[in-house]
Structure 1
Amino acid sequence: MSSISVAAVLLGVATVVMVVVALRLARSRRKQTRRAQELASAAQAADARALAAEARTRAAEARVQAVETRGREFHEELDHLVSRRLPALALNLISSHHPVPGPLHQAASRDQAGAGAGTEGAADPFAPVLDLFRETVLKERRRVDAAARAALRGASQDMQALSYRLQTEIDALQHEFSAPRSLTRRLLAADHLNEQNLRLIQKAAIVCGAWPGHVRKDTYVAEIVTGASSRLRGFDRVRISSRMHASNIAIVGRAAEPVAVAVAELMANALEHSRDDLVVDVSLLQTENGSVCVTVDDAGKGMTAEAVRHGTRMVSGDEQQNIMLTELGDPPSQGFAAIGRLVADYGFHVSIDNPSPYGGVRAVLSIPPNLLTTIDEEAEPLSAMAPLPAVPPQVPKRPEPAAPAAPAAPAPVPTAAAAAPELPQRRRRQPARAVESEATAPAARDLDPERVRDTWSQFEEGLASGRAHTDPEETL
Structure 2
Amino acid sequence: MIEPLVTTATLLGGGFAASAAGLVAQTRAKRAVRARAGQLEERLRASEQAVTVKTGELEERARAAEQAAGRRAGELEERLREAERHAAALSAEIEHLAKVRLPALVDTEARGHRGVTVPGLLDASLAGMPVDDHHRTVLALCSEAVGLTRESIGLAARSSVRDLVDEAQTYLVRCQMAVIDEMNKVPEATAFQQGLMNIDHPLTRSVHTLQRLRILAGSWPGLQRADCTFAEIVESARGRIDAYQRVHYTHEPISGGVWVEGRVVEPVTIALTELLSNATSYSDGKVLVEVQQTQTGWVVVVDDSGLNMSPQQRGEAERLLSQRSVLDVTTVPDTLSLGFPVIGRLMAAYGFRVDVSSTSPYGGVRAVLNVPRELLGTGPTEEEQQAERREARAAMGVPVLDETPATGSRPESGAGLPQRRRRRPRAAAPAADRSGGPAPHQDPEAFGEGFAGLAAAIRDGGDQHTEGERSDD
TM-score band w.r.t. shorter chain = 0.5 to 0.7
The Cα of 1:209 is off from its aligned counterpart by 1.8
Give CA-to-partner distance per residue, 1:421-475, whole Å, 9 cap, x none: xxxxxxxxxxxxxxxxxxxxxxxxxx9977669x9xxxxxxxxxxxxxxxxxxxx
Q: 1:217 aligns with which of 223, 226, 248?
A: 226
Q: What secondary structure does 1:245 align onto?
A: helix
Q: What secondary structure does 2:245 align onto?
A: helix
Q: Which runs of 5+ in 1 are unaligned?
A: 115-122, 384-446, 456-476
Give the residue type in structure 2 aligned to 1:302. N
- Preserved contact between residue 70 and residue 108 of structure 1 (Cα < 8 Å): no
The Cα of 1:98 is off from its aligned counterpart by 2.0
Report the Cα distance in structure 1 between the residues aligned to 2:227 and 2:30, rounded to whole angstroms.
150
Identical pairs, percent: 29
Report the Cα distance in structure 1 between the residues aligned to 2:93 and 2:156, rounded to whole angstroms.
36
The Cα of 1:42 is off from its aligned counterpart by 2.0
Q: Is 1:161–2:185 an aligned residue pair?
A: no
Q: 1:304 aligns with which of 296, 310, 334?
A: 310
- Preserved contact between residue 349 and residue 367 of structure 1 (Cα < 8 Å): yes
- Preserved contact between residue 244 and residue 286 of structure 1 (Cα < 8 Å): no
Report the Cα distance in structure 2 between the residues aligned to 1:310 and 1:143, rounded to whole angstroms.
28
- Preserved contact between residue 228 and residue 259 of structure 2 (Cα < 8 Å): yes
The Cα of 1:378 is off from its aligned counterpart by 5.5
Pick closer, same or farther for the CA change 1:224–1:109 going to 2, 3 Å. closer
Q: What secondary structure does 2:117 align onto?
A: coil
- Preserved contact between residue 245 and residue 286 of structure 1 (Cα < 8 Å): no
- Preserved contact between residue 284 and residue 295 of structure 1 (Cα < 8 Å): yes
In structure 2, what is the equivalent of residue 391 of structure 1? none
Report the Cα distance in structure 2 between the residues aligned to 1:286 and 1:174, rounded to whole angstroms.
37
In structure 2, what is the equivalent of residue 47 of structure 1? 63
Report the Cα distance in structure 1 between the residues aligned to 2:436 and 2:81, rounded to whole angstroms.
84
Give the 5 Å matches for 1:59-138: 59-93=75-109, 94=112, 97-109=115-127, 112=129, 126-138=135-147
Q: What secondary structure does 2:291 align onto?
A: strand
The Cα of 1:338 is off from its aligned counterpart by 2.0
Give CA-to-partner distance per residue, 1:151-185, whole Å, 9 cap, x none: 2222221221122233234445556759xx87766
Report the Cα distance in structure 2 between the residues aligned to 1:29 and 1:449, rounded to whole angstroms.
135
In structure 2, what is the equivalent of residue 117 of structure 1? none
Q: CA RMSD in A?
A: 3.8
In structure 2, what is the equivalent of residue 292 of structure 1? 298
In structure 1, what is the equivalent of residue 359 of structure 2? 355
Q: 2:213 aligns with which of 198, 201, 204?
A: 204
Give the residue type in structure 1 aligned to 2:127. S
The Cα of 1:17 is off from its aligned counterpart by 4.6
Give CA-to-partner distance per residue, 1:350-378, whole Å, 9 cap, x none: 22222221222212223334432124466
Give the 5 Å matches for 1:171-190: 171-172=180-181, 174=183, 177=186, 187-190=196-199
Report the Cα distance in structure 2 between the residues aligned to 1:138 and 1:58, rounded to whole angstroms.
52
Give CA-to-partner distance per residue, 1:286-310, whole Å, 9 cap, x none: 4466x33211111222333344344
Q: What secondary structure does 2:335 align onto?
A: coil
In structure 1, what is the equivalent of residue 344 of structure 2? 340
Deviates more, 1:95-104 or 1:255-264: 95-104
- Preserved contact between residue 241 and residue 284 of structure 1 (Cα < 8 Å): no
Q: What secondary structure does 1:149 align onto?
A: helix
In structure 2, what is the equivalent of residue 34 of structure 1? 50
- What TM-score, normalized by structure 1, do the two folds share? 0.67
In structure 1, what is the equivalent of residue 378 of structure 2? 373
Q: 1:331 aligns with which of 328, 335, 338?
A: 335
Q: What secondary structure does 2:235 align onto?
A: helix
The Cα of 1:226 is off from its aligned counterpart by 0.8
Give the residue type in structure 2 aligned to 1:321. S
Deviates more, 1:352-361 or 1:130-139: 130-139
Give the residue type in structure 2 aligned to 1:371. L
Bigger relative contact order, structure 1 or 2, given CA contacts below 8 A and separation 6+?
2
In structure 2, what is the equivalent of residue 229 of structure 1? 238
Give the residue type in structure 1 aligned to 2:84. E
- Preserved contact between residue 242 and residue 285 of structure 1 (Cα < 8 Å): no
In structure 2, what is the equivalent of residue 443 of structure 1? none
The Cα of 1:229 is off from its aligned counterpart by 0.9
Pick closer, same or farther for the CA change 1:450–1:158 going to 2, 3 Å. closer
Give the residue type in structure 1 aligned to 2:377. L
- Preserved contact between residue 217 and residue 326 of structure 2 (Cα < 8 Å): no
Report the Cα distance in structure 2 between the residues aligned to 1:49 and 1:288, rounded to whole angstroms.
90
How many residues end up aligned between the 2 structures?
375
Deviates more, 1:199-208 or 1:51-60: 51-60
- Preserved contact between residue 243 and residue 283 of structure 1 (Cα < 8 Å): no
Q: What secondary structure does 2:362 align onto?
A: coil
Q: 1:266 aligns with which of 251, 265, 275?
A: 275
Q: What secondary structure does 1:373 align onto?
A: coil
Report the Cα distance in structure 2 between the residues aligned to 1:329 and 1:86, rounded to whole angstroms.
22
The Cα of 1:332 is off from its aligned counterpart by 6.1
Report the Cα distance in structure 1 between the residues aligned to 2:293 and 2:36, rounded to whole angstroms.
136
- Quick check: which one's helix share is greater? 2
Q: What secondary structure does 2:305 align onto?
A: coil
The Cα of 1:239 is off from its aligned counterpart by 0.9
Q: 1:148 aligns with which of 141, 157, 162?
A: 157
Pick closer, same or farther for the CA change 1:322–1:86 going to 2, 3 Å. farther
Q: What secondary structure does 1:374 align onto?
A: coil
- Preserved contact between residue 251 and residue 372 of structure 1 (Cα < 8 Å): yes
Give the residue type in structure 1 aligned to 2:43. R
Report the Cα distance in structure 2 between the residues aligned to 1:230 and 1:322, rounded to whole angstroms.
27
Give the residue type in structure 2 aligned to 1:71. A
Q: What secondary structure does 1:366 align onto?
A: strand
Q: What secondary structure does 1:216 align onto?
A: coil
Pick closer, same or farther for the CA change 1:355–1:449 going to 2, 3 Å. farther
The Cα of 1:283 is off from its aligned counterpart by 1.3
The Cα of 1:314 is off from its aligned counterpart by 3.9
